[in-house]
Structure 1
Amino acid sequence: MSETLLAHGLGGSSDLPIPVTYALIGGAWALAASFAILLLAWKTPRLNPRRYWTATPLARVVDAPLFRGALGAASVAVAGWTSIASVIGPQDSSNALLGVFYVLVWVGLVPASLFFGPVWRIVSPVRAVYRTLPVRARRTMPQGIGVLPAVVGLFAFVWLELASSDPGSVAAVRVWCLLYVVVMLGGALVFGEEWFVRADPFEVFSDTVARLSVMARDPETRRVVLRNPLDGAATLPVRRGTVTVLAMLLGSTAFDSLAQTPTWKNLVRDAGDPVAARTLGILACVAVVGGLFHLAARATGGVTTERRAQLPGLLAHSLIPIVVGYFFAHYLTYLVEKGQQSVFTLFDPFDRGWNPLGIADASVNYTLSSHPTVVASVTVLSVVVGHVVGVTLAHDAALRLIPKRHALLGELALMIVMVLYTFLGLYLLFGA
C-alpha cells in the first residue's frame, strides 16, 4: 500500500511535449513576465476582501437545521461504516478506510473546498457529534496559540503517510483516526467549536484552500455570495502558525515528490533508520519552504521592526494558489482514479457484490493514465498558474503593506523565491 500511496500516476519527464529543461525555463520566464506586467499595469491595490459579485439564497438551505442535521447524520454514518469496515474488512490495501482517509478526505478536500468553500466545517463527523451534545465551552481558547494545534495535526498526518514504516497499515490508520476523534472531541468539550477552527488539521486545511473559492460568506450578513477568488485570498486570518500551515502543506507535498527520486531512495536505503531519515526529510522540506518565504517577505525597507515581523503572515495568502496548483499537479490522477476505486470499495467493503448506487458493474476509468502527455502538460500548467496567481496576490498585498519606494525590493525577493519554488517543484515532479 505504501508504494500505491506514493505512486500518484504522474507522467514522467519523457511524457512532456517539450523537454523538461524547457518547461523549467518556460515556467521561470512566465513568472518573470507576469511580474513585469504587474509592475507596469497594476500600480494600485485592486483586490478587495469585502467585495463580491452577487448574493445567493443558498444560506437558507445550508443553514437550515434539517439540512445540517441530515448532512451531519450522513457524515457520522459514513464514518461509522468505514470504521466497521476497517475492523472486519480485509486488512490490506483493499480496506475501505485507506481510500477514504488518504484519497477522499485528504486529497479530495482540495477540489471540494475550492469549489464549495470550507466544506469540512459542515461534513466533519466529529463536529456533527459535538453539536448533539448538551455541553458548553468551559474555557476560552488562548489567542496566542493561533493554529499551532492544527500544525501538529497536519504533521501527524504527513508523517503517517510519508515517513512511517507502513503508511498502508490499516491498524496504524485506525489508531490515528481514533486519536484524532479523541483529541478533537476532547478539545471541543473544553474550548467549544473554536477548537475545531484552530486545531482540526482537516478544517484548517479546508478553510485555507477555501479562501480561493468562488463561494463565500459575507461576514456581515452571513449570506452565501459569489466572488472573485483573488479577492477572497486576502481574507485568510493571520494567526500564529499560519505560515507554518502553508509551509507544511507545500513542503510535505514537495517531499512526497523528492521521496521518489533515485538519489533519495539510495540515501534512505543507506540510512541506519529509514523512518528517522524520512522524518528529517519532511521537516527539512517544510523548513526550507517556510524559511525562504519568511526571509523574502521580510526583505524590504521602509517599515518598522514590528511591521516587518508581521509581513510573512500578511503575505501568507499568496502561497495558497501555489499549494493548490502543486496539489493538482501532484495528485490529479491519484484523485481521479484512486478516488473512483475508493468510492466503489466504500459501498462494497467486503466484496460481497453489494450495489446500493447501481455501480456494481462499473470499473475504474484510467483515461488519464493512458494519456501521460496530457497529465504531464496539466502538471506544468498547474504549477505555473499557481505561481503566477501567487505573484499577483503578493504584488497587490505589497502595494497595500509596503511604502511604494520600497515595494519593489520586497516584491523582487518574493519573486525570486517563487521562481525557485517553480524550478524545484517541476524538477521534483518530473525527476522521480
Structure 2
Amino acid sequence: MKVQSVKFTCVFLAVLGISALISDPLYAHSFGERYDLPLPLSMYLTSAAIVVLISFIIAAVFLRQSKLVNLSPSIQLSWFLPPGSISRKITKVIVQVLGVALFFLTLLTAYFGDNETFNNFSPTFVWVIWWVGFTFIVALIANVWPIVNPWRTLALWSRVFKVEKRRLYPEKLGAWPVVITFLIFAWLELIAEGPEIPNTLFWLILIYSLYTWIGMAIFGINNWLQNADLFSHFFNLFGRFSLFNLESNNITLRVPGSGLAHDKPLHFSETFFVILLLSTVSFDGILETPLWKDLLSYISENQLIRPLLIELQASGVDIIILTKSLALLIMPCLLLVVFLMFCYLSVKAGRSKMQLTVAAGHYVLSLVPIALAYHIAHYIFYLMIAGQQIIPLASDPFGYGWDIFGTQNYAIDIGMINVKTVWFISIYAIIIGHVIGVVLAHYSAIKIYQNHKQTLMSQIPLLLLMIAYTMLSLWILSQPIVE
C-alpha cells in the first residue's frame, strides 16, 4: 500500500476517532426515561461544528498535493467467490432468482391479497424492507442491486432485450430522466395518499416496470440502467460509500466513503440529482418540525392568499398536499442555489477560472455521506419497529389467515430500539457523514489545484457550508424531541 494511500486511510480513521472522542462527553450524562436532552441543544450543535472543523484541520495537514490518481486504498478478496468459479455463478443465480421471486410475490400479494395495508406483504416489503432496509445494506455493506435487480434479470432471461444497442443514449439528456422519476417517487413516498394501499402499489410497480423495459428496449439494457434508471442510479450512488466494492470482477475491501473519491466532474444533471436526494431526505425531516407547522399556519392565516386558498379548496384541491408539493419542488432549487453559491466562493478563493457547474460536479459527491447519514438518522427507528411487521406477513403474505412459518401471531416489540438510542445514532451518523464529506471535498480540491495554499483557501467556503448543514441537520432531528 503506497504512502499516500496510507495517509488517506489515516485521515478517515482519525476524523472518525475525533468525532467519537468529542461526542462521548455529551453522552456521559446519559438520557432519562423521559428522553430530555441532558445538555442544551446549542452545546450539541457547537460540538458537532467543532468536530467538522477539526476534521478539516486533519485533512489539511495529512492530505497534500499528489500526482497519484488513486488515493483510495483497497484490498482484493480473491479468495472469496473467485471470478469464474462455480461458487460465484451459483451465488449469482440464487440472488437473481430471489430478486425475481420477491418481485412476483410483491405483485401477486398487491393485486390478489387483502387490500388492507397492514395485512398485506407488499407495502411493508416495498416501503420498509426494500426502500429503507435494502438501502442500508447497499450503503454500508455492498451494492448488490445490479444482481438483485428483477427488471434487469427478467430482461436478460427473456433474451428479447439486447444488452447493448446501436442507438446510443443521448449524452445531452444526462441523468434528467432519473431526476424526474425521483421527484415523482419522492412525491409518492412523502406526500401522496394511497401508495401504501396494495392495489395502488400494484399499478405503480407495473407502470414503472413497463417504463423501464421500454427504455431497455430502445437503448439496450446496460445503456438504460447506467444512464436513466432511477434505482440503479440511487443504489450506485449510495453503494460507492459501502465497505465492499463489487463493481470490478474481484470483490475488494475499502475504506467506507472512499469510493466517492473521483477525478472527473459529474454532469450537471447528476449534480442536481445528488442535491435532490439530500433535499428530499431533509424535507421529510422538516415536515416533523414546529417550523413547518408555523409555515402552514402563516399560509392559512395570510389575508392576501386566503381567498385563493378558499377558492382552491372549494374546487376540491387539497391545500396541504398542494403546499407540500410546492415545497418539495422549491427546496432542492434553494439548496442547489446555496451549494452553487458556496462553490462559486470556493472557485474565487482558490483563484481558479473553472466554470461553476464544473466545480459543482467536482464537489457534489462529498454531499452523499451527508445524505446517507440523514437517511440512517431519519429512518433507523422506522426500520427497526415497522420492519418487524414483515415477520408475521412472511407467514401470511396475502392476508388470508395462513401461518406458513408459524409467525403469524408475532407481536411487534416496540422496545427493540428506544428514542435515546436513536438520538445517539443520529448524532454520530450526522457528524461522521459531514466529516467524511469534508475529507472528500478536500481530496477533490487536491486534484483541481496546483498548490497546497490554493487547496486550503478553496475549501474554506465549503467548510463553512458543511458546518452550517451539520448544525441544521441536528436541529431538524432534534425538534420532535426538544419541543
TM range, smaller chain:
0.7 to 0.9
Q: Verify: 1:367 aligned to 2:415, yes or no.
A: yes
Alignment of 1:78-227 (within 5 A): 78-94=102-118, 95-134=120-159, 135-136=161-162, 137=165, 139-193=167-221, 194-217=223-246, 219=248, 222-227=249-254
Please report how far the alpha carbon of residue 337 of structure 1 lies from its aligned counterpart in structure 2 after TM superposition: 1.9
Pick the aligned partner of 1:48 from 56, 66, 70.
70
Q: Verify: 1:410 aligned to 2:437, yes or no.
A: no
Distance 1:62 1:18 in 2: 57
Match of 2:341 in 1: 295
| Alpha carbons 2:344, 2:356 under 8 Å: kept | yes
Q: Verify: 1:278 aligned to 2:337, yes or no.
A: no
AA paired with 1:108? G
Q: Structure 2 regions of 5+ residues with no counterpart?
A: 1-31, 301-308, 310-318
Match of 2:81 in 1: 58
| Alpha carbons 1:89, 1:349 under 8 Å: kept | yes
3-state DSSP of counterpart to 1:168: coil
| Alpha carbons 1:17, 1:373 under 8 Å: kept | no
Please report how far the alpha carbon of residue 14 of structure 1 lies from its aligned counterpart in structure 2 after TM superposition: 4.9
RMSD (CA atoms): 2.8
3-state DSSP of counterpart to 1:226: strand
Structure 1, 170-179 or 39-48: larger mean CA deviation: 39-48
Distance 1:355 1:47 in 2: 56
Report the CA distance shift for 1:118/1:254 in structure 2 as closer, same or farther (over 3 A): same
Q: Verify: 1:254 aligned to 2:282, yes or no.
A: yes
| Alpha carbons 1:215, 1:224 under 8 Å: kept | yes
Distance 2:230 2:97 in 1: 21
Report the CA distance shift for 1:187/1:375 in structure 2 as closer, same or farther (over 3 A): same
Deviations 1:122-178 (A, max 9, x none): 111111110112232352212222222111221111100112244433343333212
Match of 1:5 in 2: none
Please report how far the alpha carbon of residue 59 of structure 1 lies from its aligned counterpart in structure 2 after TM superposition: 4.8
AA paired with 1:58? L
Please report how far the alpha carbon of residue 383 of structure 1 lies from its aligned counterpart in structure 2 after TM superposition: 0.5
AA paired with 2:153? A
Match of 2:97 in 1: 73
Distance 2:467 2:113 in 1: 47
3-state DSSP of counterpart to 2:117: coil
Tell me the TM-score normalised to structure 1 length.
0.88
AA paired with 2:245? A
Deviations 1:215-274 (A, max 9, x none): 11464xx21211223431124972342222211221011111111123423544755322
Distance 1:43 1:108 in 2: 38
Which has the larger Rg?
A: 2
Q: Verify: 1:428 aligned to 2:476, yes or no.
A: yes
Q: Verify: 1:397 aligned to 2:444, yes or no.
A: yes
3-state DSSP of counterpart to 2:414: coil
Aligned residues: 419
Distance 2:281 2:86 in 1: 32
Deviations 1:345-367 (A, max 9, x none): 24422345544455445443333
Distance 2:91 2:407 in 1: 26
AA paired with 2:99? S
Distance 1:362 1:239 in 2: 48
Distance 2:405 2:371 in 1: 34
Match of 1:387 in 2: 434
AA paired with 1:26? S
Report the CA distance shift for 1:266/1:348 in structure 2 as closer, same or farther (over 3 A): farther
